[in-house]
């Protein structure tokens, strides 16, 4: 089984986390087809929105994964998640689902609390994530309030420094949140640290994205007898 994984920017830690979570859901025999185009996120960051060119290059990677034999495509960038939403119809037409890494995470956050703190290092990630939370809240018939947690100075630092910056920002919105959502998959390693430090639920996207990939494959007819074990 081949899973196409599309990144706009990544780190070795994020790749390892995503791969690990997917193997938990799909089994050790899964094959990963990785695609990355850092120019997409750079262009979105510079423009302050998803440009037509950035969207086109992202969809091109989705379609390359389809051409290369992927059974499902996982979009790992929340900044361009709405492009993945727009590509869902293409996925239905081709029979190759296009799955967002963050949508089920947003849905779980809405289930966990009406006040959601959203942590991000980029405004271009923060706003699309908030839009997704608001959309899934409407779908679930819930009302939510969102607290922005924009993490300053988070680029070019090591993991411990990054965790400290996340903690500082989380502290600022702690009293406004029943649950904290980490909008970027690269933040996932800090999930346990933040939850233990502040005593509230914290959600990150890789494990939810992997579960969504499994659900998409099950909808195609794949059967998994237990977590990570595929049946006939």
Q: Please check whether residues 137 and 51 belong to one and the same domain.
A: no
In a domain, 14, yes or no: yes
Whether 226 maps to a domain, the answer reads no
The answer to whether residue 231 sits within a structural domain is no
Highest averaged pLDDT of the listed ranges 130-134, 166-170, 194-198: 130-134
Q: What is the mean pLDDT of residues 126-139?
A: 96
- Please give the pLDDT value at position 54: 98
Indicate whether 160 belongs to any domain: yes
Residues 95 and 117 grouped into a single domain = no
Same domain, 122 and 62: no
pLDDT surpasses 60 at 229: no
**Taking the mean position of all CA atoms in its chain, how far away is CA 211?**
11
Both 80 and 122 in one domain: the answer is no
Residues 114 and 148 in one domain: yes
Q: Is residue 228 part of a domain?
A: no
User: Residue 154: inside a domain, yes or no?
Assistant: yes
Predicted TM-score (pTM) of this structure: 0.91
* In-domain check, residue 142: yes
Counting other chains too, the contacts that 45-49 makes at CB distance below 8 Å and 24 or more residues apart are 45/79, 45/122, 45/124, 48/123, 48/124, 49/124
Does 212 lie in the same domain as 175? Answer: no
- Shared-domain flag, residues 43 and 111: no
User: How far, in Å, CA of 81 to CA of 179, rounded?
Assistant: 21
Asked if residue 212 and residue 97 are part of one domain, the reply reads yes
Q: Are 115 and 95 in the same domain?
A: no
CA neighbor of 196 nearest in space, from 163, 165, 173, 148:
163
Looking at the DSSP assignment, which residues form a beta bridge with residue 32?
3
* pLDDT, position 232: 34
Question: Is residue 232 included in any domain, yes or no?
Answer: no
Is there a single domain that holds both residue 196 and residue 108? yes
Could you list the residue range(s) of the whole structural domain that residue 140 is in? 103-204
What pLDDT does 178 receive? 97
Q: Are residues 12 and 62 in the same domain?
A: yes
Q: Are residues 122 and 60 in the same domain?
A: no
Cβ atoms of residues 105 and 209 within 8 Å:
yes
CATH value at residue 81: 3.40.50.1860
β-partners of residue 148 are 118
pLDDT (tens digit, 9 = 90+) per residue, 49-107?
A: 999 999 999 999 999 999 999 999 999 999 999 999 999 999 999 999 999 999 999 99
State the total domains in the chain. Answer: 2
- Cα 188 to Cα 176: distance, rounded to the nearest angstrom: 21
The pLDDT tens digits of the residues spanning 142-170 come to 999 999 999 987 676 778 888 889 999 99
Which pair of tokens denotes residue 165?
């910056």
């Amino acid at each position: 089984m081949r899973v196409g994984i599309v990144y706009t920017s990544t780190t070795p830690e994020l790749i390892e986390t995503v791969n690990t979570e997917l193997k938990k859901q799909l089994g050790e025999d899964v094959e990963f087809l990785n695609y990355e185009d850092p120019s997409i996120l750079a262009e979105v960051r510079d423009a302050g929105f998803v440009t037509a060119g950035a969207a086109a290059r992202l969809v091109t990677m989705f379609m390359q994964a389809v051409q290369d034999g992927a059974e499902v495509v996982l979009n790992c960038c929340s900044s361009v998640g709405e492009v993945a939403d727009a590509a869902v119809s293409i996925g239905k037409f081709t029979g190759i689902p296009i799955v967002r890494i963050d949508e089920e995470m947003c849905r779980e956050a809405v289930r966990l609390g009406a006040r959601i703190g959203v942590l991000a290092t980029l405004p271009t990630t923060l706003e699309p994530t908030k839009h997704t939370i608001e959309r899934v809240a409407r779908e679930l018939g819930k009302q939510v309030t969102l607290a922005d947690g924009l993490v300053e100075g988070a680029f070019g630092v090591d993991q411990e420094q990054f965790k400290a910056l996340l903690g500082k920002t989380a502290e600022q919105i702690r009293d406004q949140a029943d649950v904290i959502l980490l909008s970027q998959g690269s933040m996932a390693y800090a999930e346990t640290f933040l939850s233990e430090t502040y005593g509230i639920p914290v959600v990150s996207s890789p494990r939810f994205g992997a579960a969504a990939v499994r659900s998409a494959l099950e909808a195609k007819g794949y059967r998994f007898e237990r977590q990570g074990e595929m049946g006939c």
